[in-house]
Structures are given as structure tokens and as C-alpha cells.
Amino acid sequence: MKLITAVIKPHRMDEVKDALQAFGVHGMTVTEASGYGRQRGHTEVYRGAEYTVDLVPKTRLEILCEDDDAEQLIDVIVKAARTGKIGDGKVWSVPVETAVRVRTGEVGPDAL
């Protein structure tokens, strides 16, 4: 099994979700995140004082999948999330040792 993590622009979330559903992904975990890579933040002005806000809001989604699906899934996310502008985010995968479905106790790929 693999855990795929994607950090993307929040406004691309709907497209990514639709693409993943069309691909056949049944579930995912989504969290609000903030950070920066090559894209830096912006400047805000409060009563003449400039504040550099360098952490940019991002959406982080995590999906568990079978090993064979990982490459294609990453491809789906990348295509749906891309705007071509700086700050589009990153997608990566890591191997997963075990997974259990809490309700039934199913283990491994059956739990996905």
C-alpha cells in the first residue's frame, strides 16, 4: 500500500476531488494547511506597519491506495491541480506498512 499526500492550491480542491472520484477513489482526508515553497507570501499593511505573511494557505489531501494505483493516481492529482503558475504545490507517496478499517477490523488492502 501507498500513502499519497498532496499539498495544493485551495481553489483547485474541487477539480482534484472530481477527478479522483471519476478515477474511482472512495475516500480521502483533507486538511487546511499553510506553508511555502518557491512561492512566497504577501505583504499586509496595518496602520502603516507592513507585515510579511510568508505562510500561504494550502489544502493538504491524503489518500491510501494499492501499490499499482499510486503512479496513476498521482498523475490524476497533478493534472487536476495544475494551473501552471508558481505555488501549485507538491504530490508525493510513501509506503504504508499496515491499515485497519476500524468498523470491521479488515486489514491491508481490504481496509481501503
Partner 1 sequence: MTPEEVLEQAVTPANVGFVIISAAMVMIMTPGLAFFYGGMIRVKSALNMLMMCFVSMGIVSVLWVLYGFSVAFGDGFGEGNGGGIIGNFDFIGFQDLLGLDGSGDVMAFALFQLMFAVLTPALIAGALAERVKFSSWMVFITAWVTLVYFPVAHWVWGAGGWINTLGEKMFDGEYDVIDFAGGTAVHINAGIAALAAVLVIGKRSGFKKDSSMRPHNLPMVLLGAALLWFGWFGFNAGSELAVDNITALMGFNTMVATGMAICGWLAYERLRYGAYTTLGAASGAIAGLVAITPAGANVNPMGALAIGLVAGVVCAWAVSLKYKLNYDDSLDVVGVHLVGGLIGTLLVGFLAMEVGGIQQFVLQALAAGAVLVYTFVVTALIAFAIKATIGFRSSDEEEAAGLDQVFHAESGYDFSQTGGPVSAAGVTAAAAETATADPGEKKVDA
Q: Which residue bears the cell 489544502?
A: 59
Q: Which 60-89 residues touch partner 1, going by CB under 8 A?
A: none
Nearer to partner 1, 46 or 86 (CB): 46
Q: Which residue bears the cell 472520484?
A: 21
Task: Provide the minimum distance between the beta carbon of 110 and partner 1 in the complex, in angstroms, as a whole number.
Answer: 29
Which residues are CB-neighbours of 110 under 8 A, at least 6 positions away? 101
Task: Provide the minimum distance between the beta carbon of 111 and partner 1 in the complex, in angstroms, as a whole number.
Answer: 24
Q: Which 28-57 residues touch partner 1, going by CB under 8 A?
A: 44-53
- Is 68 within 8 Å of 11 (Cβ atoms)? no
Task: Provide the minimum distance between the beta carbon of 93 and partner 1 in the complex, in angstroms, as a whole number.
Answer: 28
Cα–chain center distance at 8 = 6
Nearer to partner 1, 41 or 112 (CB): 41
- 3-class DSSP assignment, residue 89: strand
- Is 31 within 8 Å of 60 (Cβ atoms)? yes
Nearer to partner 1, 45 or 86 (CB): 45
Residue count, binding to partner 1 (CB under 8 A):
10
Residues at the site binding partner 1, with contacts judged by CB under 8 A: 44-53
